[in-house]
Amino acid sequence: MERSIDRFYLHLISRNDLIPSNCKEKNLEVILEKEPTVDFCKFLYKEVGRDFFWRDRLKWSDQDWLNYISNDFFKLYILKQNNELAGYYELLYDPKIPSMEIPYFGIFKEFFGKGIGGYLLTDAILTSFNQKD
């Protein structure tokens, strides 16, 4: 079975271009994962990406994952609601350009439809601008 996959990109030059989310959900917390593990990163990628056909990293070895998450310019942020894991995003800084990328971002299916995705994306964008400053 053939399936069409769309990929979207967002390019913001200034934080002033951001229209922030006005999520009404309570008890949301975004946390920098200070020592991400290979297993945790693989879990997030597989579970959040399952319904979006994320496939490119499925072939990565544990060493590939370790090399990626050990990069000094890699950051992993997780979203919790009422202390329950709700989503995540990655930030990857490229000092050569310089620019900040959000390589992966998403929420778990049970949190769909609550505005939490917009909340998390707003946080990712603001954090990326703050990291560059």
User: What is the tens place of the pLDDT at every residue in 59-85?
Assistant: 999 999 999 999 999 999 999 999 999
> Quick one: pLDDT at residue 132?
60
Checking if the pLDDT of 3 tops 80, the result is: no
Distance of CA 23 to CAs 48, 57, 115, 123, Å?
20, 31, 5, 11
Three-state SS sequence of 64-116: HHHHHHCCCCEEEEEEEECCEEEEEEEEEEECCCCEEECCCEEECHHHCCCCH
Q: Bridge-partner residues for 94, per DSSP?
A: 99
> How far, in Å, CA of 9 to CA of 6, rounded?
10
Q: Rounded mean pLDDT of 9-26?
A: 90
Checking if the pLDDT of 51 tops 70, the result is: yes
Percent of the chain whose pLDDT exceeds 90: 76
Domains and CATH numbers, the chain: 27-132 (3.40.630.30)
* Average pLDDT of the residues of the chain: 92
> How far, in Å, CA of 76 to CA of 127, rounded?
11
At 10, the pLDDT band (50, 70, 90 cuts) reads: confident
Checking if the pLDDT of 133 tops 80, the result is: no
Tell me if 90 sits within 8 A of 75, measured CB to CB.
Answer: yes
At 110, the pLDDT band (50, 70, 90 cuts) reads: very high
Residue 39 dihedral angles phi and psi, to the nearest 5°: -60, -40
At 33, the pLDDT band (50, 70, 90 cuts) reads: very high
Helical (H) or strand (E) element with 30: strand 28-32
